[in-house]
Amino acid sequence: MKVEVLRLGHRIIRDQRVTTHVGLVARAFGANSMIFCGQRDEGVIETINKLVGLWGGGFEARYGGKNWKKIIRDWKEKKGAKVIHLTMYGEPLFEVVNSLRRVFNESDFLVVMGGEKVPKRLYKMADFNVSITNQPHSEIAALAVFLDHLFQGEELKKEFENVKIKVIPSSDKKLIKKKEKT
Protein backbone atom coordinates (compact mmCIF):
# COMPACT_ATOMS: atom_id res chain seq x y z
CA MET A 1 0.00 0.00 0.00
CA LYS A 2 1.05 3.66 -0.31
CA VAL A 3 2.35 6.23 2.13
CA GLU A 4 1.76 9.95 1.70
CA VAL A 5 3.37 12.40 4.12
CA LEU A 6 1.61 15.57 5.25
CA ARG A 7 3.74 18.28 6.83
CA LEU A 8 1.74 21.04 8.55
CA GLY A 9 2.50 24.68 9.23
CA HIS A 10 5.26 25.41 6.70
CA ARG A 11 6.74 28.90 6.96
CA ILE A 12 8.73 30.38 4.07
CA ILE A 13 12.46 30.76 4.73
CA ARG A 14 12.29 29.55 8.37
CA ASP A 15 11.09 26.04 7.52
CA GLN A 16 12.46 25.67 4.00
CA ARG A 17 15.26 23.34 4.99
CA VAL A 18 13.22 21.21 7.40
CA THR A 19 10.27 20.79 5.01
CA THR A 20 12.63 19.93 2.15
CA HIS A 21 14.33 17.37 4.37
CA VAL A 22 10.96 15.88 5.34
CA GLY A 23 10.40 15.37 1.59
CA LEU A 24 13.85 13.89 0.97
CA VAL A 25 13.56 11.52 3.93
CA ALA A 26 10.03 10.54 2.88
CA ARG A 27 11.33 9.63 -0.60
CA ALA A 28 14.51 7.89 0.53
CA PHE A 29 12.69 5.83 3.17
CA GLY A 30 9.95 4.53 0.91
CA ALA A 31 7.02 6.98 1.01
CA ASN A 32 5.34 7.78 -2.31
CA SER A 33 4.54 11.47 -2.01
CA MET A 34 4.43 14.53 0.21
CA ILE A 35 2.01 17.41 0.73
CA PHE A 36 2.88 20.46 2.79
CA CYS A 37 0.46 23.00 4.25
CA GLY A 38 0.97 26.49 5.59
CA GLN A 39 2.66 29.03 3.33
CA ARG A 40 3.00 28.30 -0.38
CA ASP A 41 6.66 27.77 -1.25
CA GLU A 42 7.69 26.88 -4.79
CA GLY A 43 11.32 26.56 -3.65
CA VAL A 44 10.59 23.40 -1.66
CA ILE A 45 8.76 21.78 -4.58
CA GLU A 46 11.48 22.75 -7.07
CA THR A 47 14.29 21.37 -4.89
CA ILE A 48 12.55 18.04 -4.36
CA ASN A 49 11.47 17.67 -8.01
CA LYS A 50 14.97 18.49 -9.21
CA LEU A 51 16.39 15.82 -6.93
CA VAL A 52 13.81 13.26 -8.13
CA GLY A 53 14.76 14.09 -11.75
CA LEU A 54 18.38 13.21 -11.02
CA TRP A 55 18.13 10.42 -8.45
CA GLY A 56 14.98 8.78 -9.85
CA GLY A 57 11.78 7.25 -8.53
CA GLY A 58 8.26 8.56 -8.82
CA PHE A 59 8.11 10.65 -5.66
CA GLU A 60 5.91 13.76 -5.86
CA ALA A 61 5.79 16.85 -3.65
CA ARG A 62 2.97 19.36 -3.74
CA TYR A 63 1.59 22.31 -1.83
CA GLY A 64 -1.76 21.49 -0.22
CA GLY A 65 -2.93 25.00 0.69
CA LYS A 66 -3.84 26.23 4.15
CA ASN A 67 -6.80 23.93 4.80
CA TRP A 68 -5.11 20.86 6.33
CA LYS A 69 -8.44 19.65 7.80
CA LYS A 70 -9.88 19.25 4.32
CA ILE A 71 -6.86 17.23 3.21
CA ILE A 72 -7.33 14.88 6.14
CA ARG A 73 -11.10 14.66 5.66
CA ASP A 74 -10.69 13.91 1.93
CA TRP A 75 -8.05 11.31 2.75
CA LYS A 76 -10.31 9.57 5.26
CA GLU A 77 -13.08 9.35 2.67
CA LYS A 78 -10.86 7.15 0.49
CA LYS A 79 -11.65 3.50 1.08
CA GLY A 80 -9.67 2.11 4.01
CA ALA A 81 -7.20 5.00 4.14
CA LYS A 82 -5.80 5.81 7.58
CA VAL A 83 -4.25 8.87 9.18
CA ILE A 84 -1.18 8.42 11.37
CA HIS A 85 -0.13 11.45 13.40
CA LEU A 86 3.46 11.44 14.66
CA THR A 87 3.57 13.18 18.02
CA MET A 88 5.59 12.83 21.20
CA TYR A 89 2.28 12.50 23.08
CA GLY A 90 1.07 9.45 21.14
CA GLU A 91 1.23 5.72 21.79
CA PRO A 92 4.77 4.35 21.67
CA LEU A 93 5.75 3.09 18.22
CA PHE A 94 7.13 -0.19 19.55
CA GLU A 95 3.71 -0.99 21.08
CA VAL A 96 1.63 -0.26 17.98
CA VAL A 97 3.91 -1.00 15.05
CA ASN A 98 2.81 -4.62 14.58
CA SER A 99 -0.87 -3.73 14.41
CA LEU A 100 -0.06 -0.75 12.16
CA ARG A 101 1.72 -3.09 9.76
CA ARG A 102 -1.37 -5.32 9.63
CA VAL A 103 -3.55 -2.27 8.90
CA PHE A 104 -1.04 -1.17 6.23
CA ASN A 105 -1.59 -4.45 4.35
CA GLU A 106 -5.02 -3.09 3.42
CA SER A 107 -4.82 0.68 3.86
CA ASP A 108 -2.91 3.61 2.45
CA PHE A 109 -1.36 5.78 5.17
CA LEU A 110 -1.28 9.54 5.46
CA VAL A 111 1.56 10.24 7.91
CA VAL A 112 1.06 13.68 9.44
CA MET A 113 3.62 15.74 11.29
CA GLY A 114 3.39 19.17 12.81
CA GLY A 115 5.43 22.31 12.60
CA GLU A 116 5.85 24.81 15.40
CA LYS A 117 2.46 24.24 17.07
CA VAL A 118 0.17 21.30 16.45
CA PRO A 119 -3.58 22.02 16.37
CA LYS A 120 -5.46 20.04 19.06
CA ARG A 121 -8.08 18.97 16.52
CA LEU A 122 -5.48 16.80 14.78
CA TYR A 123 -5.32 14.37 17.71
CA LYS A 124 -9.01 13.56 17.27
CA MET A 125 -8.93 13.43 13.49
CA ALA A 126 -6.03 10.96 13.39
CA ASP A 127 -6.74 7.24 13.42
CA PHE A 128 -3.49 6.70 15.31
CA ASN A 129 -1.36 9.11 17.34
CA VAL A 130 2.09 7.56 17.46
CA SER A 131 5.18 8.61 19.41
CA ILE A 132 8.77 7.85 18.52
CA THR A 133 9.92 8.04 22.12
CA ASN A 134 7.98 10.46 24.35
CA GLN A 135 10.79 12.99 24.15
CA PRO A 136 10.59 16.13 22.00
CA HIS A 137 12.80 15.94 18.89
CA SER A 138 12.18 16.49 15.19
CA GLU A 139 9.71 15.72 12.42
CA ILE A 140 12.57 14.56 10.19
CA ALA A 141 13.85 12.03 12.72
CA ALA A 142 10.34 10.90 13.67
CA LEU A 143 9.47 10.25 10.03
CA ALA A 144 12.67 8.30 9.32
CA VAL A 145 12.23 6.03 12.34
CA PHE A 146 8.52 5.55 11.67
CA LEU A 147 9.04 4.53 8.02
CA ASP A 148 11.97 2.29 8.87
CA HIS A 149 9.87 0.40 11.44
CA LEU A 150 6.85 0.24 9.17
CA PHE A 151 8.91 -1.24 6.32
CA GLN A 152 11.12 -3.27 8.68
CA GLY A 153 14.29 -1.99 7.05
CA GLU A 154 13.34 -3.27 3.58
CA GLU A 155 13.19 0.32 2.27
CA LEU A 156 16.97 0.53 2.73
CA LYS A 157 17.38 -1.87 -0.22
CA LYS A 158 15.10 0.06 -2.55
CA GLU A 159 16.38 0.68 -6.10
CA PHE A 160 14.97 3.80 -7.78
CA GLU A 161 13.84 3.80 -11.41
CA ASN A 162 14.76 6.32 -14.12
CA VAL A 163 17.96 7.48 -12.47
CA LYS A 164 20.37 9.93 -14.09
CA ILE A 165 22.89 9.59 -11.31
CA LYS A 166 23.66 6.77 -8.90
CA VAL A 167 26.09 6.04 -6.09
CA ILE A 168 28.31 3.00 -6.43
CA PRO A 169 28.79 2.03 -2.78
CA SER A 170 32.43 1.98 -1.77
CA SER A 171 34.32 1.39 1.45
CA ASP A 172 37.08 3.89 0.62
CA LYS A 173 36.05 6.38 -2.05
CA LYS A 174 33.29 8.48 -3.52
CA LEU A 175 31.98 6.78 -6.67
CA ILE A 176 29.13 8.05 -8.81
CA LYS A 177 27.76 6.67 -12.06
CA LYS A 178 26.07 9.11 -14.42
CA LYS A 179 23.75 8.04 -17.19
CA GLU A 180 25.02 9.03 -20.66
CA LYS A 181 22.94 11.77 -22.30
CA THR A 182 21.19 10.46 -25.46
Residues in contact with ligand SAM by the rule CB under 6 A:
86-88, 113-114, 117-118, 131-133, 135-139, 142
Closest to ligand SAM by CB, 66 vs 178, is 66
Rounded CA separation 148/143 (Å): 8
Least separation in angstroms between CB 93 and ligand SAM: 8
37 vs 52, which CB is nearer to ligand SAM? 37
Taking CA 85 as the corner, what is the angle to CA 83 and CA 90, rounded to the nearest 5 degrees? 130
By beta-carbon proximity to ligand SAM, the closer residue of 134 and 162 is 134
Measured from the CB of residue 136, what is the shortest distance to ligand SAM in angstroms? 5
Residue nearest to ligand SAM (CB): 114
CB nearer to ligand SAM: give 45 or 140.
140
Going along 1-136, which residue ranges are E strands? 3-10, 33-38, 60-63, 82-92, 109-113, 128-131
What is the Cα–Cα distance from 117 to 139, expressed in whole angstroms? 12
Helix, strand, coil shares, percent, the chain, to 5? 40, 25, 35
Q: Residue 116 Cβ, how far from ligand SAM at the closest point, in Å?
A: 6
Interstrand relation of 176-178 and 165-167 (parallel, antiparallel or unpaired): antiparallel
- Find the shortest distance in angstroms from Cβ 53 to ligand SAM: 28
